Chains A and B, each alone.
Chain A
Amino acid sequence: MQILQANDIKKAYKMGKQTLTVLRGVDISLTAGEFAVIIGASGSGKSTLLHILGALDKPDTGKVEFEGLRLDQMSNSRLNQFRNLNVGFVFQFYHLLDELSVLENVLLPAMIAAGPITWQTRKKIKQNEAILLLGRMGLKDRLTHKPYELSGGERQRAAIARALINKPKLLLADEPTGNLDSKTGNGILEVLKELNQQGQTILMVTHDDRIARQAGRVIRLSDGKVV
């Protein structure tokens, strides 16, 4: 079953007086349960495409459909809600909040989804789910630690747990191993592969062919186009 469909995506940025065209008509689709990788050189538009597919950004032209919903036509508030419930993001630099503990970081998307009143009734259930997730990521003993007290690999696993807490249909990973040594990076890849085996749809961006080879499908991006 197709989960994501994007057609003729174009995106350009204004850099002073010049216009930098990043995407020049990209077509891409993703099937549920797939582990796909977008690969390309630096500046090829991989991250921009990932942001558009994850509803973090809007294309200048083109159509993005997620299970039949037109993301490119949604209001910002609808997009916020959509991202919260359907998409999990994993970033290269983890982007955990230093003021919160690992457990609180993981619970953040769930708290946003529930709202302040409903959260009180769902808190216990979600906390148990988060602890379970962190246990799967090997972070059971790190629940109350602050992100700056963890290693790079641990932080990235905490970030993956945060991305999964709302059981998103799509997990987007932007160079998740880019800031890690190869051993730790391999560990993260193993986690992602395991999640995919359990049915999680994953779209990952990388510039590393070695990593791309481990995915089910490779989408090569060059000069703003799928090649």
Chain B
Amino acid sequence: MIGLKLSWRYFWKRRISILAVAAVALCVFIVVVVMSVMNGLVQEFKEKNHRFVGDCVIYSPSLTGFPYANDFIEQLEAQPFVAEMSETVEGTGLMTSPGSSWNVGVDYMGIDPVRHSRVTSFASTLRYHKDNPKDAFEPPYLQQIDGCVMGIDLILSRRSDTGQYDEPETPWPLRITLSSFPLNPKGGLARAGVDVVSTKTFAYSDHAHSGLVKPDGRLIYLPLEQARVLSGMDAPVVRSSAIHIRFADGLSVEAETEKVRTLWQAYVKSLASQPYAELLSAVNVQTWQQNRREFIGPMEKEQLMLMLLFLMLGIVTIFIIFVVFYMIIGHKTRDLGVLKSIGMPTPSVAAVFLGFAAIVGLIGSIIGMATGCLFLWRINAMENWLYDHYGWRIWDRSIYAIDQIPNTIEWPLLAVVAGCAVAACLFGAIVPSIQAAIKSPVRVLQVSQL
């Protein structure tokens, strides 16, 4: 009781405690703001990748694809944990526009738009066919040719730093020609002579905005069978590049992927004597995270590096608290002797200063969290104000695939940061407090009398 009272009085009477509180508040503020924004960015990026892939994917990185996907899809359809599946064909090609010199290297993905929408967020990324993805490949003009869905950055000019696209009300009447090298199951060119390149013309029927740089910048969705012809996966055996899977709601992605993996291994074994069965050995069964690891990994590393930087910030805070407490205890040496002379136990003397540290940590954390939350709440408004008045945008939307700066306040994060701040204060104060508490009262009182 008296310890707490003294802690509180020391806190109010010492101007230096304002410095300690300010240091803690500043650290908490920075950690809350940066971690919230960074967590938001990483979380949003992960969700976009999850929505792009589905829960699980049976995927061959080879351009030759793998055969016998349909039989396995039938097997999966009988599994209660599988909700939906979508078979895809993927390849690389050169896109040109007839009558113009425009040409660009692209990736293409052949899909059944309805099935793919059930597994991934394909439909919701579309501009004109959000509610009817089955018509995604039906252009409003040039109806005699198949449509294609282009990545938004392929068809529209790069987004301005305001983050807005200048999207037309209806798709422009644009024809594109896609050329690809069709490959046979061995990886050689499927056709010889003048027909070595497979070329097809499509009409721009929609564009997809996934929020992911690569799909938005170089992916074209095509009707499944057209893509199969372009890539050469139509003969001599029908092949696919991937089967995307969505599991029934509430199931663990990892556990269900493991089940799919087991089924797949048994399936591959049963096909060992079939022609082109060797292509099945290149196939991986992956969770969406494993499949998108090369994109998610660097961002997670960046997040880890940030955490390490904040760890250093925490060490600086501890050092500041340590110095502040050494100074305070230096000033309060006489009081320690008095307290001990009237019988205050050593742990209680230490508790006075540890209580002081806890108060500094608590008040610093509360101030830091409150200002951090306030800043996050208004971060987009402030950024917009800066842009409106000075033309300065912190996150260029043409670089960061975000519409708004993520500002969701995560209460568990706040609790952890506040807990760490108080712990850092206690840690910074523990050595000077114990040193003070174990001092001989006689020495202390004699020194203070000099």
Question: With contacts A57-B440, A97-B6 known, is A89 near B448, CB below 8 A?
Answer: no
B342 within 8 A of A: yes
Chain B, residue nearest A175 (CB): B449
Do B442 and A51 touch (CB < 8 A)?
A: yes
Q: Is the CB of A47 within 8 A of B343?
A: no
- Chain B residues with CB under 8 Å of A7's CB are none
Q: Could you say which of A56, A91, A96, A112 contacts B2, with CB atoms under 8 Å apart? A: A112
Q: By the criterion CB–CB under 8 Å, are B343 and A80 in contact?
A: yes
Q: Tell me which of B19-27, B51-59, B198-206, B331-339 binds A.
A: B331-339
Q: How many angstroms between the C-alpha atoms of A76 and B439 in the bound complex?
A: 12
Establish whether residues B340 and A80, one from each chain, have CB atoms under 8 Å apart when the complex forms. Answer: yes
Q: Which of B338, B343, B441 has the most CB of A within 10 A?
A: B343
Question: Which of chain B's residues 203-222 have a Cβ closer than 8 Å to chain A?
Answer: none
Residues in B340-387 with C-beta less than 8 Å from chain A: 340-346, 348
Partner of B345, one of A51, A77, A92, A96: A77
Known: A51-B442, A57-B442. 16 other contacts (CB 8 A): A56-B340, A56-B441, A77-B345, A80-B340, A80-B346, A81-B343, A81-B345, A83-B343, A89-B342, A95-B445, A100-B9, A108-B342, A111-B1, A112-B344, A112-B348, A116-B1
The proximity string for B residues 303-347 relative to A, scoring 1 for CB distances below 8 Å and 0 otherwise, is: 000000000000000000000000000000011011111111110
In contact, A85 and B1 (Cβ under 8 angstroms):
no
**Which residue on A lies nearest to B345, using beta carbons?**
A80
Point out the residues of chain B lying under 8 angstroms from A111, CB to CB. 1-2
What are 12 A-B contacts with C-beta separation under 8 Å? A56-B341, A77-B345, A80-B346, A83-B343, A89-B342, A95-B341, A99-B6, A99-B13, A100-B6, A108-B2, A111-B1, A113-B343
Closest to A162 in B: B342
Asked if A25 CB lies within 8 Å of chain B CBs, one says no
Among A80, A82, A93, chain B packs the most CB atoms within 10 A around the CB of: A80
Q: Is the CB–CB distance between B448 and A93 below 8 Å?
A: yes
Chain A interface residue count, Cβ-Cβ cutoff 8 angstroms: 32
Q: How far is the CA of A83 from the CA of B446 in the complex (A)?
A: 18
Closest CB of chain A to B263's CB: distance in Å? 65
* Cβ–Cβ < 8 Å partners of B295 in chain A: none
A225 to B409, CA, bound (A): 73
- State the Cβ distance, B382 to closest chain A Cβ, in Å: 41
In the assembled complex, B10 has its CB within 8 A of some CB on chain A = yes
Q: Are B341 and A89 in contact (CB under 8 A)?
A: yes
Binary CB contact string for chain B from 1 to 33 against chain A (1 if under 8 A, 0 otherwise): 110011001100100000000000000000000
Residues of B within 8 A of A116 (CB): 1
State the CA gap A211–B426 with chains docked (Å): 49
Q: Mark B431-448, 1 if CB is under 8 A from A, else 0.
A: 000000000111001101
Residues of chain A with a CB closer than 8 A to B340's CB: 56, 80
Residue of A93, A97, A98 near B449 (CB, 8 A) is A93
Which A-chain residue is minimally distant from B340 (CB atoms)?
Answer: A80
Q: Which of A47, A77, A95, A109 has the most CB of B within 10 A?
A: A95
Q: Are B346 and A97 in contact (CB under 8 A)?
A: no
Report yes or no: A95 in contact with B343, Cβ–Cβ below 8 A: no
A109→B6 contact, CB < 8 A = no
Asked if A177 is at the interface (CB within 8 A of a chain B CB), the reply is no
Report the nearest A residue to B338, measured CB to CB.
A95
Cβ of A50 to closest chain B Cβ, rounded Å: 10
Indicate whether A156 reaches chain B with its CB closer than 8 angstroms. Answer: no
B5 to chain A, nearest CB (A): 8
**Which residues on the A side are within 8 Å of B6 (C-beta)?**
97, 99-100
The 8 A-B residue pairs with the shortest CB-CB distance, nearest first, are A84-B343, A99-B9, A116-B1, A111-B2, A83-B343, A95-B338, A109-B342, A57-B442
CA distance in complex: A77, B340 (Å) = 10
* CB of A22, distance to nearest CB on chain B (Å): 11
Q: In whole angstroms, how far apart are the Cα atoms of A91 and B343 in the complex?
A: 15
- Are the CB atoms of A119 and B343 closer together than 8 Å? no
